[in-house]
Amino acid sequence: MIGTSKENEPVSLRMEGVRKHFGATVALDGVDLKVRSGEIHALIGENGAGKSTLMKVLTGAHQPDDGCMWLDGEPYWPRSPADGRSAGVAMIYQELSLAQHLSVAENIMLGLEPTRGPFVKWGEIRRLAAGALGQVGRPDIPLDIPVSRLSVAEQQLVEVARSVAIGCRVLVLDEPTSSLAKKDIRKLFELVRRLKAEGLAIVYISHVLEEVHEISDTFTVLRDGLSVGEGVTATTGVHDIITMMVGRELDELYPRSHRVAGEVVLEVDGLDGLGLPASASLVLRRGEVLGIAGLVGSGRTELLRAIFGLDPVVRGEVKVAHFTGPASPSRRWAQGAGMVSEDRNREGLAINLSLADNLTMPRLKGLGPYGLVTPSGQARASRPWIDRIPIKCLSPMQPLSDLSGGNQQKVAIARLLYADVDVLLLDEPTRGIDVGSKAQIYKLIDELTAGGGIGDPTGGAGGPIGETSDPAGERPPKAVLIISSYLPELLGMCDRVAVMCRGRLGEARSVDEIDERQIMLEATGSGEAA
Amino acid sequence: MSEPTVQTLPAAGNRSHVAALFGQLGPLVGLLFVWLLFALLMGHDFVKWDNQRLMLLQTAVVGTAAIGATLIIISGGIDLSVGSTIALGTVVVALLLNAGLSPLLAALGGIGAGMMCGAAVGAIVIGYIGRVAAMIVAALTVLWLWEAIGPVLAVLAAAAAFGAVLAFSELVVKQVPIAPFIVTLGMWGALRGTAKGLGNNQPVYPEGVTWLNELMTNSAGGLGSVLAPGVWILIVLAVVMAGVLRYTRFGRHIFAIGSNEQTARLCGIQVERTKLFIYIIGIGCAGMAALLQFAYLSMGDPTTAEGYELRVIAAVVIGGASLAGGEGSIRGTMVGALIMTVVDNGCTKLGLENWVQEIVTGAIIVVAVALDRLRHRRAATAIRREAREE
Return the H-helix or E-strand segment holding A403: none
> Which chain B residues have a beta carbon less than 8 Å from that of A402?
380, 383-384, 387
Q: How far is B150 from chain A (nearest CA, A)?
A: 44
Q: Does A209 touch chain B (CB under 8 A)?
A: no
What's the CA angle centered on B134, arms B132 and B139, to 5 degrees?
Answer: 95
**Which span out of A267-281, A449-463, B76-90 was modeled with the highest average pLDDT?**
B76-90
A361 in B contact zone (CB under 8 Å): yes
CB distance B271 to A334 below 8 Å: no
- pLDDT of B235 > 90? The answer is yes
Residue B149 lies in a domain: no
The reply to whether omega before A277 is within 30° of 0 (cis) is: yes
3-state SS of A277-290 is CCCEEEEEECCEEE
A457 — contact with chain B (CB < 8 Å)?
Answer: no
Provide the percentage of residues in chain A whose pLDDT is more than 90. 27
| A320-331 pLDDT tens trace | 988 888 889 999
CB atoms closer than 10 angstroms to residue A316: 18
The answer to whether B387 contacts A373, with C-beta atoms less than 8 Å apart, is no
| DSSP bridge pairs for A354 | A399
Q: Does the beta-carbon distance from B5 to A21 stay under 8 Å?
A: no
Return the number of other C-beta atoms located less than 10 Å from residue B322's C-beta. 20
Closest CA to B290 of B139, B83, B138, B140: B83
* 8 Å CB contact between A113 and A120: yes
**What sign for the dihedral angle of Cα A389, A390, A396, A402?**
negative
Rounded mean pLDDT, A497-516: 87
pLDDT of residue A460: 41
Report the amino acid identity of residue B172. V
Domains of chain A are 2-247 (3.40.50.300), 252-346+421-523 (3.40.50.300)
8 Å CB contact of A23 and B4: no
Q: Are B94 and B87 in contact (CB under 8 A)?
A: no
Print the domain residue range for B276. 25-128+175-376
Contact at CB, B266 and A329, closer than 8 angstroms: yes
For the ranges A516-525, B1-10, B136-145, the lowest mean pLDDT is seen at B1-10
What distance in Å separates residue A71's CA from the closest CA in chain B?
31
Task: Give the mean model confidence (pLDDT) for residues B55-61.
Answer: 94
**Residue B8 pLDDT > 80, yes or no?**
no
Whether the per-residue pLDDT at A478 is higher than 70: the answer is yes
What is the CA angle B379-A341-A28, rounded to 5? 50
pLDDT per position as a tens digit, A270-296: 888 888 888 889 999 998 999 999 887
User: pLDDT tier at A474 (50, 70, 90 boundaries)?
Assistant: low
Look at B264 and A358 and tell me if their CB atoms are within 8 Å. no
pLDDT at A465: 39
**Yes or no, beta carbons of B260 and A375 under 8 Å apart:** no
pLDDT surpassing 70 at residue B385: no
**Residue A233, CA atoms < 13 Å, CB-side half-sphere:** 19
- The top-scoring range by mean pLDDT among A46-60, A162-176, B361-375 is A162-176
Contact of A19 with chain B, judged by CB distance below 8 Å, is answered with no
Q: A395, B260: Cβ pair inside 8 Å? A: no
Give me the interface pTM, i.e. the ipTM. 0.78
> End-to-end CA distance of chain B, in Å?
12
| Low-confidence winner among A471-485, B14-28, B152-166, B283-297 (lowest mean pLDDT) | B14-28
Q: Element (H or E) spanning A412, and its range?
A: helix A405-418
Distance, C-alpha B142 to centroid of its chain = 32
pLDDT for B384 equals: 53
Cβ-proximal residues to A57 (8 Å cutoff; 6+ apart), any chain: A15, A18, A20, A28, A63, A64, A67, A69
pLDDT of residue A525 exceeding 80, the answer is no
Nearest to B255 by CA among B38, B76, B385: B76
Kindly determine whether residue B267 and residue A347, on different chains, have CB atoms separated by under 8 Å.
no
DSSP result, B82-105: HHHHHHHHHHHHHHHHHTT--HHH
Please indicate whether, in this complex, the C-beta atoms of A361 and B269 are within 8 angstroms of each other.
Answer: yes
Q: Does A241 touch chain B (CB under 8 A)?
A: no
- Residues B350 and A291: their CA atoms lie apart, in Å, by 74
Give the chain A residue nearest B271 (alpha carbons): A330
Q: How far apart are CA A293 and CA A280, in angstroms?
A: 14
Is B138 part of a structural domain of the chain?
no
- A40–B contact, CB cutoff 8 A: no
**Interchain pair A397, B7: CB under 8 A:** yes
Residue B207's CATH number: 1.10.3470
When CB atoms are compared, the residue of B252, B256, B265 closest to A329 is: B265
Q: Which of B50, B61, B15 is nearest to B381 (CA)?
A: B15
Farthest-apart Cα atoms in chain A, separation: 79
Q: A274 — contact with chain B (CB < 8 Å)? A: no
A204 or A1, higher pLDDT: A204
Task: Give the pLDDT band of residue B7 (cuts 50, 70, 90).
Answer: very low
Tens digits of residue pLDDT in A343-394: 888 889 998 899 999 999 998 888 888 889 898 999 999 999 998 888 888 8
User: Model confidence over B89-140: pLDDT tens digits?
Assistant: 999 999 999 999 999 999 999 999 999 999 999 999 999 999 999 999 999 9
The beta strand positions in A298-379, using DSSP E, are 315-320, 323-324, 337-340
* Residue among B29, B21, B16 nearest B380 (CA): B16
Beta carbons of A361 and B264 less than 8 Å apart = yes
Residues 6+ apart with CB under 8 A from A266: A282, A283, A284, A307, A318, A319, A320, A337, A423, A479, A481
A362: contact with B, CB 8 A cutoff: yes
Q: What's the pLDDT band for A86 if we cut at 50, 70, 90?
A: confident
Question: Are the C-beta atoms of residues A136 and A191 closer than 8 Å to each other?
Answer: yes
The residues, ordered by sequence, that sit 6+ positions from B139 with a Cβ below 8 Å of its Cβ are B158
Report the run of H or E that residue A32 belongs to, with start and end: strand A25-36
Half-sphere exposure of A287 (CA within 13 A, CB side): 14
Residue A338: per-residue pLDDT: 93
Residue B254 φ/ψ, nearest 5 degrees:
-60, -45
B1 CA to centre of own chain: 46
Query: Is the CB of A394 less than 8 angstroms away from the CB of B246?
Result: no
CB contacts under 8 A, A 415-444 vs B, are: 415
d(CA A39, CA A10): 11
Residue of B nearest to A362 (CA): B267
Say whether B6 and A402 touch across the interface (CB within 8 A): no
Question: Chain A contacts of B255, Cβ < 8 Å?
Answer: 353, 357
Contacts of B270 in chain A (CB under 8 A): 328, 330
Residues B223 and B49 sit within 8 Å (Cβ to Cβ): no
What is the pLDDT, as a whole number, of residue B114? 96
- Chain A CB contacts of B7 under 8 Å are 394-395, 397
Task: Let me know: does A347 contact A341? Beta carbons within 8 Å.
Answer: yes
For residue B182, the distance in angstroms to the closest alpha carbon of chain A comes to 24
Order of strands across the sheet with A74-75?
A25-36, A11-22, A66-71, A74-75
Q: Is residue B152 part of a domain?
A: no
Contacts B265 to A, Cβ<8 Å: 310, 329
- Nearest by CB to residue A23, choosing from B253, B259, B387, is B387
Min Cα distance A356 → chain B (Å) is: 11
**A394 to B260: CB separation less than 8 angstroms, yes or no:** no
CA distances from A309 to A279, A330, B123 (A): 16, 9, 22
Is B281 a residue whose pLDDT tops 90? yes
| Whether residue A65 has pLDDT greater than 50 | yes
From residue B246, give the alpha-carbon distance in Å to each of A209, B24, B27.
50, 16, 19
Q: From CA A182, how far away is CA B264, in angstroms rounded?
A: 38
CB of A29 within 8 Å of a chain B CB? The answer is no
| Residues from chain B contacting residue A333 (CB–CB below 8 Å) | 267-268
Cα separation, B327 vs B69, whole angstroms: 13
Residue B369, C-beta contacts closer than 8 angstroms, at least 6 positions apart: B317, B318
| Better-predicted residue by pLDDT, B87 or A233 | B87
A474 or A212: which carries more pLDDT confidence?
Answer: A212
In this predicted structure, the answer to whether residue A108 has a pLDDT above a threshold of 70 is yes
* Mean of pLDDT values over A126-152: 89
Minimal C-alpha gap between A374 and chain B (Å): 5
What's the whole-model pTM score?
0.78
CA A115 distance to own-chain centroid: 42
How, if at all, do strands A509-510 and A496-501 pair?
antiparallel
- Give the model's pLDDT for residue B226: 85
* Pair B341, B58: CB distance under 8 Å: yes
Q: What is the pLDDT of residue A437?
A: 83
For the ranges A26-35, A450-459, B24-33, B281-290, which has the lowest average pLDDT? A450-459
Nearest to B82 by CA among B246, B192, B245: B192
What total number of domains does chain B contain?
A: 1
Nearest CB among B248, B265, B269 relative to A372 is that of B248
Give buried/exposed letters for A120-135 (b at 16+ CB in 10 A, else e): eeeeebbebbbebbeb
B184 located within any domain = yes
Gap between the Cα atoms of A344 and A350, Å rounded: 9
**Low-confidence winner among A86-95, A174-183, A440-449 (lowest mean pLDDT):** A174-183
Q: How far is B113 from chain A (nearest CA, A)?
A: 30
> Predicted confidence band at B378 (pLDDT cuts at 50, 70, 90)?
low
The answer to whether residue B275 is domain-embedded is: yes
Q: Is residue B4 part of a domain?
A: no
Whole-number Å distance between alpha carbons of A181 and A295: 13
Mean pLDDT for A130-158 is: 89
Residue B15 belongs to a domain: no
**A333/B256 Cβ within 8 A:** no
* % of residues, chain B, pLDDT over 90: 65
Higher pLDDT, A209 or A423: A423
B1, B5, B247 ranked by CB distance to A387: nearest:
B1
**Residue at B357 is within a domain:** yes
Can you give the pLDDT at residue A423? 93
Instruction: Judge whether B194 and B88 are in contact, CB under 8 Å.
Output: yes
The span from the CA of B1 to the CA of A335, in Å, is 34
Name the percent of chain A lying above pLDDT 70. Answer: 91
Handedness of CA B205, B208, B209, B215 (dihedral sign): negative
Residues in B closer than 8 angstroms to A397, CB to CB, are 6-8
Contact A350 B10 (CB under 8 A): no
Structural contact between residues B119 and B325, judged by C-beta atoms closer than 8 angstroms: no
Interface contacts A/B by beta carbons within 8 Å: 120
Please state, in angstroms and rounded to a whole number, the distance separating the CA atoms of residues A499 and A483.
10
* Contact (CB, 8 A) for A350 and B263: yes
Please tell me the number of Cα atoms within 13 Å of A4 on its side-chain side.
Answer: 1
Q: A146 by DSSP, 3-state: which? A: strand
In chain B, alpha helices (H): 14-42, 44-47, 49-74, 82-98, 103-125, 129-149, 151-172, 180-198, 223-226, 229-247, 249-259, 261-266, 271-297, 308-318, 330-349, 354-389
In Å, how far is B272's CA from the nearest CA of chain A? 12
